[in-house]
């Protein structure tokens, strides 16, 4: 799909504000996301017990949108979806944490309780999703509300898929953010597939941006596989929100190149479409091409990053792959602060 280059009014072109170090850092996160997912896939149905959800083809928008935030302790906060591994990595999640989550290790961030990218670090600035789509929109509106009430110059960012915009919670949350003028940026990921359901069965509007406009939220549609376009649009929206101008919606058009999860063979997707998106519209390929064509970085720099990523992913794997699963009774504590643990049931002590 050829998309018109859409640049929000007032945005500064990304090439003008990103240093070559930053451009390389973005490349590092793009490469890390893809390599790490490929690594997780190697362990599917052995060490990785639950489902595996790939973001292949969507790494660009994940990384670029998160990169537009202020990162660090007690800065901006985002809430990723299942295909936003890149966003999590940008915010400071470590590859070993991702591997441990997928493998349900005792030392995983949720100590084996939750799956894949469902975990938090509010100090670093990310709040894990639950499986119920849309729920994170009102929750992130609440996080943005806390920034507003405390007069902190912080911004919340939350992702929603094209399918997720059909939920009631998405609409309620967005409307609340609009009327309260909350510092919330919503990234609407139009990746063409909600499990097996295509957009035309999901909504009757052409663009997700139209939904946001219905709530009085400014909305733009950008090419989601153009790292620069996503970065520019997000940066504009984030800074606007930080200045107290309220919520903003950014629709990123992209494409889910794998099945809903790895068990899904995508038989409902035309092979030609997959091939075209892979060949002509891969976000990493496009980014690299742009960097090299404009002579913004050197080819050797990129190669160095590829090598570094491979080493880091190897090290992360070695560090955790043989770690134990959590001990059985560690299932009991933590439902409440007090009492400290759920009761061990009578038949377990016979």
Partner 1 sequence: MAEVTFLEALRQGLWEEMERDERVFILGEDVGSYGGAFKVTDGFSKRFGESRVIDTPISEAAIVGAAAGAAHMGLRPVAEMQFIDFISCAYDMLTNYVATARYRAGLSTPMVVRGPCGGYVRGGPFHSQNPEAAFLHTPGLKIVYPATARDAKGLIKASIRDEDPVLYLEHKWLYRRIKEQLPEGEEILTPIGQARIAREGKHLSIISYGATLWKSLEAAEQLEKADGVSVEVLDLRTLLPMDDAAIIATVKKTNKVLIVHEDTRTGGIAGEIAARINEQAFEWLDGPIMRVTAHDVPLPYAPTLEDFVLPQTDDIVKAARWLAAY
* Contact residues: partner 1, CB under 8 A: 49-50, 104-106, 110-115, 118, 130-134, 163-164, 166-169, 194-197, 201-203, 268, 325-332, 334-335, 342-348, 350
CB atoms within 10 A of CB 2: 5
Shortest reach from residue 175's CB to partner 1, in Å: 16
By beta-carbon proximity to partner 1, the closer residue of 142 and 326 is 326
Nearest C-alpha neighbor of 283 from the set 13, 16, 34: 34
The shares of helix, strand and coil residues in the chain, as percent rounded to the nearest 5, are 45, 10, 45
Token readout for 35 is: 């390599």
CA distance 116 to 96: 12
CB of 168 to partner 1, least distance (A): 5
* Per-residue buried b or exposed e for 71-86, using 16+ beta carbons within 10 Å of the residue's own CB: beeebbbbbbbbbbbb
Nearer to partner 1, 51 or 216 (CB): 51
CB of 25 to partner 1, least distance (A): 32
Please state, in angstroms and rounded to a whole number, the distance separating the CA atoms of residues 305 and 243.
35
- In the complex, the smallest distance separating the C-beta of residue 87 from partner 1, rounded to whole angstroms, is 20
For partner 1, the closer CB: 160 or 220: 160
| Cis peptide bond N-terminal to 339, omega within 30 | yes
User: What is the closest distance, in whole angstroms, from the C-beta atom of residue 150 to partner 1 in the complex?
Assistant: 30
CB closer to partner 1 out of 111 and 240? 111
Are residues 202 and 195 in contact, defined by beta-carbon separation less than 8 angstroms? no
For partner 1, which is the closer residue by CB, 206 or 344?
344
The residue among 43 and 203 lying less far from partner 1, judged by its C-beta, is: 203
256 three-state secondary structure: coil
């Amino acid at each position: 799909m050829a998309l018109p280059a859409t640049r929000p009014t007032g945005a500064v072109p990304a090439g003008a504000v990103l240093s070559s170090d930053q451009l390389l850092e973005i490349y590092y996160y793009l490469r890390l996301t893809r390599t790490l997912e490929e690594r997780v896939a190697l362990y599917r149905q052995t060490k990785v017990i639950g489902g595996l959800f790939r973001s292949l083809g969507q790494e660009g928008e994940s990384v670029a949108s998160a990169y537009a935030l202020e990162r660090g302790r007690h800065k901006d906060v985002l809430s990723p979806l299942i295909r936003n591994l890149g966003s999590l990595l940008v915010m400071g999640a470590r590859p070993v944490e991702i591997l441990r989550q997928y493998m349900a290790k005792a030392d995983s961030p949720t100590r084996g309780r939750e799956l894949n990218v469902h975990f938090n670090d509010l100090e670093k600035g990310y709040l894990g999703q639950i499986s119920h789509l849309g729920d994170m929109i009102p929750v992130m509106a609440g996080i943005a509300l806390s920034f507003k009430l405390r007069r902190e110059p912080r911004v919340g960012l939350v992702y929603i898929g094209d399918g997720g915009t059909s939920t009631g919670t998405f609409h309620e949350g967005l409307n609340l953010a609009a009327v309260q003028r909350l510092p919330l940026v919503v990234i609407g990921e139009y990746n063409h597939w909600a499990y097996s359901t295509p957009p035309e069965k999901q909504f009757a509007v052409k663009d997700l941006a139209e939904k946001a406009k219905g709530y009085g939220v400014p909305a733009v549609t950008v090419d989601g596989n153009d790292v620069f376009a996503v970065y520019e649009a997000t940066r504009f929206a984030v800074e606007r929100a930080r200045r107290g101008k309220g919520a903003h919606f950014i629709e990123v058009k992209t494409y889910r190149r794998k099945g809903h999860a790895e068990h899904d063979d995508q038989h409902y997707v035309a092979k030609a479409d997959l091939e075209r998106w892979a060949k002509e519209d891969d976000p990493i390929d496009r980014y690299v091409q742009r960097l090299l064509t404009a002579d913004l970085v050197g080819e050797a720099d990129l190669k160095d990053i590829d090598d570094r990523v491979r080493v880091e992913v190897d090290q992360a794997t070695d560090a955790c792959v043989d770690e134990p699963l959590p001990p059985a009774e560690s299932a009991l504590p933590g439902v409440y602060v007090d009492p400290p643990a759920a009761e061990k049931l009578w038949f377990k002590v016979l």
